[in-house]
Each structure stands twice: as C-alpha cells, then as structure tokens.
C-alpha cells in the first residue's frame, strides 16, 4: 500500500532501472575491495606478466625494487599506496647492495646484525682438508685402581685424641691428620727395652773409658778390657735390633731418635698425610681429598685399623666400553698409539679433551654385555678452591669419577675433502643445504653429504658449493627455518621492513 502511495506521489521513481543500479553498486564494491588489497595481489600479477613477456628483471634498480620484491616509488604514490604516509621511511642508502649478485628470492635471506648475533652466525671459507673418521664409544670417568685411593691406617694401637682434618677437606702431603695416645703394651715394652739397652751401653762405654785411663802397667789385665768391649758389642747388637723393632711398630726414625735423646717413652704419635705415588703425570704439589673419615675423637684403635681414605683426583681414567664388533679397531688404535678424543656434554654444549692415548685394553670380554673395556688417561685440574680456615681449604676438580663421557677412536683418514662443522649444514628431510654469503644475503645451496657425525660433515666436492666461497659455518639450521617461515608467511609484505 505504501509503495503504491510512494509511486503515485513520485511517479518518476517507477521509471528508474533498479536492477541495473544494483549491479553497478556490486561492481563498484568489488572494485573498491580490489583497490584496497592491491598491495597483496598486484606484485605477483606483475611478476607473472613480466615472466610471460620475457622482461622479468634480474636486478633491481636503486629506488625502484627492493630485495623483498616490492615496487616503491620514492616520494609519491604507487598503485594507490601513499608511501609518504604509511609510516615507512623509504629514503635510504642502497649502498649495502653494492657488489650483491643476482639471487633467487625464494632461496635467499637478508638478516640484520641483531639477527645474526642472536643466531650466533659465523662465516668461513670452503676449502679442502683431511677428514678423520671416528667411531664413538660410551665411557665413564673412574679413579685409577691402586693409584688414586690411599688408605691411612693406625700405625700403633691407641686412642684418638686429636682430629686435624674434616671430611671433604683438601690435604697436602706431610699434613698432620690425627694424634693417637699410645696404649699398646707391646709398644710400651719395646720402648722400655730400647731405653734400658741404651743405658747399659752408656755404662759399659764409661767403664771401658775408665779402664783404659789407668796408666799403671799391669794394674788392669787386658783380658778385663776385652771382656768389656765384647759386652759393648753384644749390647750394640741388641740395641740395633730393638731400634728396628720400634720402626716396624710404626715409629719414624725421628721419633726413635727423640726417645734416645730425651730418654723418655713416646706417649703419643701424630699421623701424617702420605706422599703421592711416584708415577708419571703425578705432581707433589696438588692435594689429596679426604673422601671418608673413619674414626671419631676418643675412639680406641688397634694397629692397622683404617683412619681415613684419601683420593688423588689429579690423574683419572676414562673407562671406555667397546662393542664386540669394534674390538679390532680399538686394538689397532691402541697398538698404533693413535690419539683419541674424550667428549662430555654440559650446559654450554659439548666439551672435547684432545690428545689422549689408550693406556691399556682389558684381556677379557664381559660375558653379560659382551663389552670390552679399555682405559684412557685423563689429566685433571682444580676449577674451584675455597679456604675456610687459615691453611685449610676445599677444592673442586673439573672431572669427577662417575661422569658420563664418550670416547672417539680414529678409524681412517679421508684426504682432500670439504669438511664443514656440522652446524654449517642444514637438514630438511632428505635434503641438505649450506648458506653462501652473497653481499648482505645468505643464499641457500643444496649439497650432498657423504658423511656426518656429531661434530663434522663431509660435503661432496661436485661444484654445488665452490671452493673459496664464504658460507655460514654456524646457524645453518636456524637459517633454514627462517627461510621456510618466509616462504609460508602471508602477512603484509611491508611488515618488518625498515627501508
């Protein structure tokens, strides 16, 4: 009713072509949307048209095409996009592209200095060199049997009256460890006999001196003097035997001399830290570590009871475990004295210890695991020292028994190979890539990997990467991930660019 009224009131409206106007409005709307989104669809269309027409650009001209494939007209509008007002500063110096060769944008990255620093990227030149192939075997740090551990025992029976050390303390050779009050009856008797014999010797010596001082001829027969001299000789033999007995009881020569000089029985003894084993690689300057304290104050001990356990950590072993099929290669390496490498992982990465040699290989294969054990000498060093009292301190050694390691035993040498760090080769499925430095860009190059281990990769010298080229020696996997993200991203092409 209302429409009829409106048509009657405004008769010219009924004559307008409403269907045509609606179609026109739709066309204008589509054109507006296309105009608004031209920055996304126009550059690819231009590249396709250029490829079909044979005029595809191989190198951009300054101020017209940037490395990201976007056309920019500095100081004006292009394709409806006002570059003077979009927040991008396009007035920049293109000198960073000088010397830059043509490259495929789909296989190239341009990184800022901050990005390269975050990746830890390093550059290096490709060259030929020798590659040593290793076989890797599991290992563990151990002490040296018979050399590292020293048991300190009570030389004589007695009671512990003083402790000069605590558990875990570093102990130098000759350092006092314990004081014992002697209570052993046999030792007391041995000291008494020793003193008695010494006194008798003094008496006989004085008597002989007196007899020889008499000047009257025939007053003292020579037989009497000879008898006294024979007695002196007999007592000297007993004296020497008793001295040796005291030494066997555990007294030192200085202690025995003190008994003889002071003419007093020794009531207590001080137990000292022993010297280091006299083996190659040991140094008398480094300390023992008191690993286990076995006694307490006031405890009564018999001769030979253990007082404490000292450990020398300055020289250790890496106990390697060779698998049965690696036994021949291991024995060959040991016989030819090839240097091996011990590796250990920590929070900072993989640590390598070079120039180690195999000391010996066991002569039996473990029946259960079928493993053949071998031992590599491992020099150690102190990494931390803390003094908790004057002249007393704790130390921490770099390598510790029980740590897991790996031993890399050399098997063969390949000459004239392209040898790269394993971080220089990115892996993507079955493909392998390196990134060649091309001006400010990193161009991805496919390569063939002949061999790869945890540290190095051998790349086939087939011309895919020329000798002398500069490549990324570290961070290749991160570059590969960044390149994949770039290829798969559909965001604003101007986003992230600071022109």
Token duo for residue 28: 């204008």
**Predicted local confidence at residue 65, as pLDDT:** 41
**Predicted local confidence at residue 45, as pLDDT:** 67
Q: Are 329 and 377 in contact (CB under 8 A)?
A: no
Alpha helix (H) residue ranges in 140-277: 185-213, 222-248, 253-262
Instruction: Supply φ then ψ for residue 360, to 5 degrees.
Output: -160, 160
User: Which residue shows structure tokens 């650009």?
Assistant: 57
DSSP per residue over 358-393, as a string?
EEEE-SS--TTT--EEEEEEEE--EEEEEEEETTEE
In tens, the pLDDT along 358-374 reads 999 998 888 888 899 99
Which residues, 6 or more positions from 50, have their beta carbon under 8 angstroms from its beta carbon? 56, 57
**Predicted local confidence at residue 241, as pLDDT:** 93
The secondary structure element, H or E, covering residue 159 is strand 158-163
Q: Are 362 and 372 in contact (CB under 8 A)?
A: yes
Q: Are 359 and 377 in contact (CB under 8 A)?
A: yes
Handedness of CA 378, 273, 146, 405 (dihedral sign): negative
Residues found in the chain: 499
Count of alpha carbons within 13 angstroms of residue 425, beta-carbon side: 27
Question: Is 469 in a helix, a strand, or coil?
Answer: coil
Pick the closest to residue 467 from 394, 416, 414 (CA basis): 416
**Predicted local confidence at residue 55, as pLDDT:** 47
Q: State the pairing for strand pair 392-397/382-389.
A: antiparallel
Q: Where are the domains of the chain?
A: 18-108, 111-130+414-488, 156-164+177-286
CA 25/CA 32 separation, integer angstroms = 11
* Whether the predicted model's global pTM rises above the 0.85 cut: no
| Class for the domain spanning 111-130+414-488 | mainly beta
Instruction: Supply φ then ψ for residue 55, to 5 degrees.
Output: -115, 30
Name the stretches of the chain with pLDDT < 70.
1-20, 22, 33, 39, 45, 48-104, 214-221, 278-284, 489-499
């Amino acid at each position: 009713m209302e429409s009829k009224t409106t048509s009657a009131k405004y008769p010219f409206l009924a004559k307008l072509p409403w269907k045509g106007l609606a179609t026109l409005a739709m066309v204008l709307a589509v054109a507006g949307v296309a105009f608004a989104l031209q920055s996304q669809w126009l550059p690819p269309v231009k590249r396709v048209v250029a490829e079909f027409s044979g005029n595809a650009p191989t190198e951009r001209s300054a101020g017209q095409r940037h490395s990201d494939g976007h056309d920019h007209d500095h100081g004006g509008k292009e394709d409806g996009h006002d570059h003077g007002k979009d927040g991008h500063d396009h007035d920049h110096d293109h000198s960073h592209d000088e010397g830059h060769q043509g490259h495929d944008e789909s296989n190239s990255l341009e990184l800022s200095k901050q990005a390269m620093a975050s990746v830890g990227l390093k550059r290096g030149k490709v060259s030929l060199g020798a590659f040593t192939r290793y076989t890797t075997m599991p290992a563990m740090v151990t002490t040296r049997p018979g050399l590292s551990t020293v048991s300190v025992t009570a030389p004589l029976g007695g009671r512990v009256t003083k402790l000069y050390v605590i558990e875990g303390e570093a102990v130098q050779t000759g350092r006092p460890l314990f004081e014992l009050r002697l209570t052993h009856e046999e030792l007391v008797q041995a000291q008494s006999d020793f003193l008695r014999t010494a006194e008798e010797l003094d008496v006989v010596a004085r008597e002989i001196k007196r007899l020889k001082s008499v000047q009257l001829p025939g007053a003292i027969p020579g037989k009497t003097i000879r008898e006294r001299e024979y007695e002196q000789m007999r007592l000297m033999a007993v004296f020497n035997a008793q001295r040796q007995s005291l030494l066997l009881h555990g007294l030192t020569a200085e202690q025995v001399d003190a008994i003889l000089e002071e003419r007093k029985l020794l009531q207590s003894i001080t137990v000292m830290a022993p010297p280091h084993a006299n083996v190659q690689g040991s140094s008398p300057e480094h300390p023992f570590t008191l690993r286990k304290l076995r006694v307490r104050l006031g405890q009564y001990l018999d001769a030979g009871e253990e007082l404490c356990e000292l450990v020398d950590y300055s020289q250790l072993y890496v106990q390697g475990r060779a698998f049965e099929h690696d036994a021949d290669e291991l024995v060959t390496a040991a016989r030819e004295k090839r240097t091996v490498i011990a590796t250990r992982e920590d929070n900072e990465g993989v640590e390598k210890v070079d120039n180690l040699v195999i000391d010996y290989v066991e002569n039996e294969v473990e029946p259960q695991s079928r493993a053949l054990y071998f031992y590599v000498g491992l020099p150690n060093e102190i990494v931390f020292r803390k003094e908790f009292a004057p002249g007393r301190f704790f130390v921490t050694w770099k390598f510790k028994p029980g740590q897991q390691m790996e031993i890399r035993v050399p098997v063969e040498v390949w000459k004239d190979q392209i040898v790269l760090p394993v971080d220089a080769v990115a892996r993507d499925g079955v493909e392998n890539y390196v990134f060649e430095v091309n001006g400010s860009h990193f161009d991805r190059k496919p390569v063939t990997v002949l061999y790869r281990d945890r540290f190095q990769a051998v790349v086939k010298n087939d011309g895919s990467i020329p000798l002398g080229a500069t490549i990324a020696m570290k961070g290749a996997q991160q570059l590969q991930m960044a390149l994949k993200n770039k290829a798969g991203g559909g965001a604003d092409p101007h986003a992230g660019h600071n022109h």
